[in-house]
Structure 1
């Protein structure tokens, strides 16, 4: 998590590229969905039972770009712009996109695991958005936001309140069109992802460290082999001084030839 800490403070600046791309793509898909002659909710929305029983695995990705109405997409896109922009400026576009998609897909999988027999389609970017909220709260815990543009509250308290509310709503027996499990899943995945620090750069350092370690170990083995060989050469040279070259064994002569070839190459 420390690697994600930023010293940037304050809202402002233009919309960064990934946030802008997500805003545009969500709005375009929204209008295409409602203007199109055929409903795609059953195909592109996340239907938990179909996703695993009929292997419609693309749904855990496509459902993020569908929305159920104007206010649904407006609130999600507003929160994405408001909180996601600072995260992308701080982490970089590639890292932010990776985090956003992982939270969205993770939220979908979380919902499938907890409601595997559900045939109710789940749509919306809310799972990814809740992951963004968690990330923002971890990075800027004391940043003030204004609920309904009137009531100031620190981000950390707002996110804690949302998490508790989503938990109790998910436990409610009343049927709801809101995918509370997906919201909780997005928050949980986002939190675990950041605490685990699963970034591209970290993977790059891990891979580099692994191969660098292999290279170092190989070099040490070669040095050790060379040291042992030179010790044998010293013994062989002492033998030559005492009894002459013609009295060396075939193996001893071969060792001298190998060492001679190595030294000539150097």
Structure 2
């Protein structure tokens, strides 16, 4: 999977620019997570452990001591670990595509739904059965769920070693579930599948059951497929012009680098990248 370079005018204006590079909502989230990670490192260095305890999510603390702020603070509590880098890479690689597809408002709603809803549902489990408690911090499940949302949007896009994203998602879903079952981490397993369900619903919505029927999917595909004789020559000419434009942009990148591109050239490059993803999705 190629690392995306983001400049998409169709997805809305960037929040701000850094040296001619647009920063979208996903980029801002990465910056915030990195800042809170540094705070966590300093807290660990100065042995300020109460910071982790008070901001991490604990079902008993919320229910018995009404520490409701933990419902929103736990994703920003990062323990010093190399896993944090992988977490940010997942957000960078897949979050931008989901943000582009959903739009900034729906993407932000999805992100905070992944923070808030699984936590609230886990409280109901603990209230019913006090022996089932959970402690959570970090954003790994949130960003993995964004990968699930990406896989729902572009199931045929190729990731590692040419494997399609839908198969990568299924493999990781099975692995993480088996790990939780083996360790008897029932609350984490519940939280994990709640997050996955929220991500899938954000893409499919009430249409989720339509994707369970391959026959129905094939029928819909046949209805929307246009005969070849309906494709007019002007459209073909337009596509050729677009291809020539992309070739010129790629040649410019090879000679002068990404920083030499104008806003319109970056937008054209981004449109071509999204078109390729959608083409892979239809295969």
- Please give the TM-score of this superposition, normalised by the length of structure 1: 0.61
Q: 1:136 aligns with which of 143, 146, 150?
A: 150
**Residues 188, 127 of structure 1: alpha-carbon distance in 2 compared, 3 angstrom cutoff:** same
Q: What is the Cα-based RMSD across aligned positions, in Å?
A: 2.7
Instruction: Output the CA distance in 1 between the equivalents of 2:115 and 2:171.
Output: 21
Instruction: Output the CA distance in 2 between the equivalents of 1:87 and 1:48.
Output: 30
Runs of 5+ in structure 2 lacking a partner? 8-21, 207-283
Instruction: Output the CA distance in 2 between the equivalents of 1:117 and 1:16.
Output: 44
**Residues 91, 194 of structure 1: alpha-carbon distance in 2 compared, 3 angstrom cutoff:** closer
Runs of 5+ in structure 1 lacking a partner? 1-8, 198-266
Residue 171 of structure 1 pairs with residue 164 of structure 2 = no
Residue 195 of structure 1 pairs with residue 204 of structure 2 = yes
- Please give the TM-score of this superposition, normalised by the length of structure 2: 0.57
1:24 alignment counterpart: 31
Deviation at 1:35, TM superposition (A): 0.7
SS of equivalent residue, structure 2 residue 89: helix
Residue 124 of structure 1 pairs with residue 122 of structure 2 = no
**Residues 120, 139 of structure 1: alpha-carbon distance in 2 compared, 3 angstrom cutoff:** closer
1:61 alignment counterpart: 72
**Residues 186, 45 of structure 1: alpha-carbon distance in 2 compared, 3 angstrom cutoff:** same
**Contact kept? 1:47, 1:122, Cα under 8 Å:** yes
1:96 alignment counterpart: 107
**Aligned residue pairs: how many?**
184
**Residues 42, 20 of structure 1: alpha-carbon distance in 2 compared, 3 angstrom cutoff:** same
1:158 alignment counterpart: 168
Instruction: Output the CA distance in 2 between the equivalents of 1:89 and 1:16.
Output: 13
Instruction: Output the CA distance in 2 between the equivalents of 1:63 and 1:53.
Output: 17
